[in-house]
C-alpha cells in the first residue's frame, strides 16, 4: 500500500512540477512580450518627440530669420523716408531758423520768401 501511495504522491509531485514549469515558462514569455512591446512604444514615442522637436526648432529658426528680415526692411524704410522726405524740425532758436536734416546732413534756413509766380 505504501508503494502505491508513494507512486501516487510521486506522480502528483511530477505533474505539479511540470505545471509549475509550464506556468513559469508562460510568465517568462509574457514578460518578454511585454518588455518588447514597451521598448517598441518607447521607440515610437522617442521618434515622434524627436520629429516634433526638429519641427519646432525649424519653425523657431524661421521666425528668427523673418524677424531679422523685417528689422532690415524697417531700417531700409526709415532710411528711404529720411532720404525722400528729410526730417524737419522747427527749432525755437533766437533767430527763428528752421533746421532740416536730410541723410544725416543738417541745413538751416534763416529767411523764407514766397516763390515768384
> Model-level pTM?
0.46
Contacts of 96 (CB under 8 A, 6+ apart): 110
CA–CA separation, 35 and 29 (whole Å)? 10
CA–CA separation, 14 and 12 (whole Å)? 5
| Cell numbers given for 102 | 536730410
Which pLDDT band, with edges at 50, 70 and 90, does 2 fall under? confident
Residue that is written with C-alpha cell 538751416 in the block: 108
Residue 94 predicted with pLDDT over 80: no
- Express each pLDDT in 29-74 by its tens digit: 999 999 999 999 999 999 999 999 999 999 999 999 999 999 999 9
| Cell numbers given for 8 | 501516487
Amino acid at each position: 500500500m505504501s508503494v502505491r501511495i508513494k507512486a501516487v504522491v510521486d506522480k502528483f509531485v511530477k505533474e505539479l512540477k511540470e505545471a509549475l514549469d509550464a506556468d513559469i515558462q508562460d510568465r517568462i514569455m509574457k514578460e518578454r512580450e511585454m518588455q518588447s512591446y514597451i521598448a517598441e512604444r518607447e521607440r515610437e514615442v522617442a521618434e515622434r518627440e524627436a520629429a516634433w522637436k526638429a519641427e519646432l526648432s525649424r519653425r523657431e529658426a524661421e521666425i528668427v530669420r523673418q524677424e531679422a528680415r523685417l528689422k532690415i526692411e524697417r531700417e531700409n524704410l526709415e532710411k528711404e523716408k529720411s532720404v525722400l522726405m528729410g526730417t524737419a524740425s522747427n527749432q525755437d532758436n533766437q533767430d527763428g531758423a528752421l533746421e532740416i536734416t536730410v541723410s544725416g546732413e543738417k541745413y538751416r534756413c534763416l529767411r523764407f520768401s514766397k516763390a515768384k509766380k
